[in-house]
Amino acid sequence: MHKFLNAILVMTVLISGFVLYSLEHTTRDLERRVAKFERGIDEEIESMKFLNAEWSSLTRPDRLKRLAEQHLGLTTLQAKQIVRIEEIGQKVPAEPLIKLEADGSDPIGAIIDKMQ
């Protein structure tokens, strides 16, 4: 009886030892992976900060103005160039614009010409 009990206990110790060891092993592995991901997140956050700063610096209003003037020929918006949406609505032709476009005319250009 005692021998049998002892044998079972020894077996339990061995099995639980093995389970414990393998659990610890997987835990360590997971921890390593967590640390790796956290480092990765930190790096990503750093590069996000850097890219945000770069974006903000590249979209500086004075830089955009210079580029718009140089490459697009844009100038300051005049007050009279601003119109209400209802005013445009009155000048839209009755036929659908897509159809007119398919016919080869330039309906939106025509609206702008009419407004001027």
Partner 1 sequence: MTMSEFAANPAEAEVQAPRKLAGQNRIRLIGLCFGAAFLAIGGQLTNLTLFPAPDTRDRIVHEDRLPRPDIIDRNGVLLATDVAVASLYADPSKIIDIDEAIELLTATVPDLDAKELRRKLTTSKRFAWLKRQVAPEERDAVYNLGIPGVGYVNERRRVYPQGRLGSHVVGYVDLDTKGIAGIEKYLDDQGALYTASLAEPSEHKTQPAQMSIDIRVQAALIDEVTKAIEKFRAIAGGGIVMDIDTGEVLALISLPDFNPNQEKKSFTKDQQNKMTSGVYELGSVIKAVTFAMALDYGVATLTKSYDARFPLVIGSARINDFHAQRRVLTVPEVFTNSSNIGTAKMALEVGIEGHQEFLRRVGLFERLQTELPESAKPLLPRRWSKLATATAAFGHGFAVQPLQGAAVVAGLLNGGHLMTPTFLKRNADDAMAMAQTVVKPSTSETLRYLFRLNATEGSASKANVIGYRVGGKTGTAEKVVNGRYSKDKRLASFIGAFPMDKPKYLLLVMLDEPKPTPETYGFATSGWNAVPTAGKIIERIAPMLGVEPVFTPEDLEKLAKLEKTKKKD
Closest CA to 106 of 116, 114, 97: 97
Binding site for partner 1 (CB under 8 A): 42, 45-46, 49-50, 52-57, 59-62, 65, 76-80, 82, 84
Minimum distance from CB of 95 to partner 1 (Å)?
Answer: 31
Q: Decide whether 61 or 104 has the Cβ nearer to partner 1.
A: 61
Are 115 and 87 within 8 A, CB to CB? Answer: yes
Query: Which CB sits closer to partner 1, 3 or 80?
Result: 80
CA distance 30 to 36: 10
Minimum distance from residue 54 beta carbon to partner 1 (Å): 7
Tokens of 83: 């119109």
In the complex, least distance from residue 16 CB atom to partner 1, rounded to whole angstroms: 14
> How many CA atoms lie within 13 Å of 94's alpha carbon, on the beta-carbon side?
0
